């Protein structure tokens, strides 16, 4: 339960910071309303299920073949999270643009959300780097743990992104509106990634 609560806190810390998915959802909400934004949210997170399933199967098979290889993947994941944090801290914010788009049918919005996320290699790498940091092979099947953590992340993502979609009409125009605000958000997310990566590496060494 302690690990699950820690995972939930880390996930929320990452989810509440606006990223590409949130900007995509906000764009849809601006151009077609809240319903379009919510449909896009569902599509994106259905796509996340594919990445979670792939991570669960791949990491479980990896552990079955070699505990050392699994540990190496876990360390590489921690290093990747640290690298993401450094990139966030170093990145110079670009002007945010919400472009008008022609109306798109809900079914197509849902499908596009799935395709956008499934075909995004960064999402796959993120799950492979993030989820193993909370896995303890001695506490049960790795695939089951990955699946539970992944589904929890998706549910939290639906709540977080859904909130952005619902509030887009009044708040989205202010989200990342200025260079200073975007810089602060990048710094916040960078610190979170650095903390996750460093904490995961230290925990692994002490295990």
- Give domain limits for the chain: 2-206
State pLDDT tens for residues 7-27. Answer: 888 888 778 776 667 777 877
- Reduced to 3 states (helix: H, G, I; strand: E, B; else coil), residue 26 is helix
CB atoms within 10 A of CB 72: 12
Position 171 scores a pLDDT of: 60
- Mean pLDDT confidence for 35-59: 88
State pLDDT tens for residues 146-172. Answer: 999 999 999 999 999 998 888 876 664
State how far the alpha carbon of 190 is from the alpha carbons of 29, 88, 89, 91, in Å.
27, 5, 5, 10
Give, as one character, the DSSP assignment of residue 144: H
Degrees to nearest 5, angle at CA 93 with 88 and 97: 125
Element (H or E) spanning 81, and its range? helix 67-90
Is pLDDT of 175 > 70?
Answer: no
Give dist(CA 115, CA 66) in Å, integer. Answer: 33
Strands (E), the chain: none
């Amino acid at each position: 339960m302690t690990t699950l609560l820690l995972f939930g806190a880390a996930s929320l810390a990452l989810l509440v910071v606006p990223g590409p998915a949130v900007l995509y959802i906000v764009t849809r909400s601006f151009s077609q309303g809240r319903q379009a934004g919510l449909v896009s949210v569902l599509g994106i997170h259905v796509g996340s299920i594919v990445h979670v399933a792939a991570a669960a199967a791949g990491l479980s098979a990896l552990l079955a073949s070699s505990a050392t290889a699994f540990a190496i993947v876990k360390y590489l994941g921690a290093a990747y999270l640290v690298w993401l944090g450094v990139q966030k801290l170093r990145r110079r914010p670009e002007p945010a643009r919400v472009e008008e788009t022609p109306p798109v049918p809900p079914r197509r919005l849902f499908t596009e959300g799935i395709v956008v996320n499934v075909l995004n290699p960064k999402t796959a790498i993120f799950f492979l780097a993030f989820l193993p940091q909370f896995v303890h092979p001695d506490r049960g099947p790795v695939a089951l743990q990955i699946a539970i953590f992944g589904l929890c992340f998706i549910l939290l993502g639906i709540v977080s992104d859904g909130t952005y979609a619902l509030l887009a009409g009044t708040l989205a125009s202010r989200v990342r509106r200025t260079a200073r605000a975007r810089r602060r958000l990048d710094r916040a997310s960078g610190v979170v990634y650095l903390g996750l990566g460093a904490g995961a590496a230290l925990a692994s060494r002490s295990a």
